[in-house]
Structure 1
Amino acid sequence: MSSHERDYVAINLANWNSRVPHHEQGYELHRFREDPRRLSDVVEFDRARLGDVRGLDVVHLQCHIGTDTLSLARLGARVTGLDFSEPALSVARRLAAECGADIEYVCSTVYDAVAALGAGRFDVVYTGVGALCWLDDIQRWAATVAALLKPGGRLFLREGHPMLWALAEPRPDGLLVVEYPYFKVEGGTLFHEKQTYVSHEGDLAAPDSISFNHGLGEIVTALFAANLRLTALTEHDSVPWNPLGDGMVQDERGEWRLRERPERLAATYTLQAVKG
């Protein structure tokens, strides 16, 4: 690991560790304990495109506290969750145990996933919204995905659209303004944010983070280079949290889209690719 990689990983690990107690409250984990059929809003949205995963070996990269991971298990998959935050995995393991779900959780960075989990083990690599922006090397990520998959295995990725990540914070005049890079920049972009994306009291103990935007062309090209064949790419006008304040409205599925003319913004996308 280079000194640059050590630096940004350490900063982001401290940031995500500090989010865990707030997310443990804000993710409404009691709803998963109380309802054995409960799925996360993210997986519920993905379900139609994801298809039948019963009996499949699925790895959820960057799984955080495991609500989406648990939801995949409830769809019948044999699921492994991987994340670099041990405090997050502690919550995920406890939630799985309380819900009677047999899920393996492994603490590792994405780049070390093959060493931690083994090559060629999985039918599906699943990655949810807000994951790729924490990785500086998308080619290395794509190669890792390919190495984890069995021959014919599938990547399922729903992610924030790089156009969304490039927008400025909410403005009083409601204008959408491009403020941050669409393309990856060396060193990433440093943010200092005292609050996370769920409502909570108090400030984050480690408010600094470094993120990296990756254009769609960069992502698709990296997948091609890793011998992953693109099978679907769908852009969506909605996102599962509110990044733009009063300019967005929530629908009955928990998704947020622009209040006025939502067709102006691709907020997320779903990408699927097959190995070989």
Structure 2
Amino acid sequence: MNDDYRAVNRAIWDERAVAHAASPGYSVDRFASDPTHISDVVRFDLPLLGDVSGQRGVHLQCHIGTDTVSLARLGARMTGLDFSAPALEQARTLAEAAGAQVRFVESDLYAAPEALGHETFDLVFTGIGALCWLPDIRRWAHVVATLLAPGGRLFLREGHPMLWTLADPRPDGLVVVEYPYFERPEATVFDSEGTYVETDVEFEHTTTHEWNHGLGEIVTALLDKGLQLTGLVEHDSVPWDALPGQMEELPNGECRLRDRPWRLAHSYTLQAVRPA
């Protein structure tokens, strides 16, 4: 596999960084006006995340940094890593406005250990919508294991791989499996003019290369790198309107199927530790 997918996907994220930071979905202004504000994603995670104060943390594929800054506000000493320079520019602006001490590093995910100077961390955090941009989940697990200090913890909340298989909503309301569940060598190529937040911006770059990874593949990749699974919880909601026209918004900002949401695992939280 060549690395063209990186350039294609980076163009998407570079172009959307400013629009995302300006959108109401990310609530960037609230970080400056309310010193207690944290992102809806991190707030949802709090019962499982627990106390992170004083921990050295790295947020992989951090985008514009709202979750990274939120973790810093919870007391972690955070580093954010992303391959998009414009996204990191927005993240640094956000951190400064929020009064948060966060280091941001530009790097492809697979090159993270080198980019971070082979530093290790107590917490490796990965949020919603990150793994689908990676062609090889085993290489990702190697990076996670390399970055974790002995006794350190991976905290991952992601869209469920079953959700990623679903086609766009049909007029009759049927939920249809269309895309791969298991990791495939070739990417699934999408073309979409918009983005997942509210914006009036018209984008030039619309093509993405994406991969799904089955839940068993993710767990096995981590186990093969010597990590110990400590938690796996599936949720009936996600923090965006994943199936437009078929979802309802909940009071906590999450969305789920309006009709019998128990049919579908929408997202999951996985935790694993590197043995001391």
TM-score normalised according to structure 1 size = 0.97
User: What residue number does 2:85 align with?
Assistant: 86
Conserved 8 A contact 1:119-1:149: no
Q: Structure 2 regions of 5+ residues with no counterpart?
A: none
Contact 1:84 1:109 in 2 (8 A): yes
Q: Deviation of residue 100 (structure 1)?
A: 1.0
CA distance in 1, matches of 2:27, 2:170: 29
Q: Deviations over 1:39-92 (max 9, x none)?
A: 100000011101100000000000000000000000000000000000000000
Counterpart for residue 13 of structure 1: 10
Is the CA contact 1:118–1:148 (under 8 Å) kept in the aligned structure 2? no
What letter matches 2:5 in structure 1?
Y
The yes-or-no answer on 1:224 pairing with 2:223 is yes
1:248 Cα shift? 0.5
5 Å matches for 1:1-276?
4-26=1-23, 27-119=26-118, 121-276=120-275
Number of paired residues? 273
Give the C-alpha shift of residue 118 in structure 1.
3.1
- Check conservation: 2:19, 2:201, Cα contact below 8 A: no
Quote the offset at 1:120 in angstroms. Answer: 5.0
Consecutive aligned runs of 4 or more in structure 1 exceeding 6 Å deviation: none
Any conservation in 2 of the 1:237–1:268 contact (CA below 8 Å)? yes
Q: Distance in 2 between matches of 1:184 and 1:12?
A: 18
**1:191-228 CA deviation, whole Å, 9 max, x = no partner?**
00000000111322210000000001110110011111
How far apart are the structure 2 equivalents of 1:78 and 1:5? 35
Q: Structure 1: which 5+ residue stretches go unaligned?
A: none
Q: CA deviation at 1:267?
A: 0.4
- Counterpart residue type for residue 235 of structure 2: H
Q: Distance in 1 between matches of 2:236 and 2:203?
A: 30
- Deviation of 1:5 (Å): 4.0
Q: TM-score, normalised by structure 2?
A: 0.97
CA distance in 2, matches of 1:182, 1:203: 31
CA–CA distance in structure 2, aligned partners of residues 91 and 119 of structure 1: 25
The Cα RMSD (Å) is 0.9
Q: Which amino acid letter does the alignment assign opposite residue 54 of structure 1?
A: S
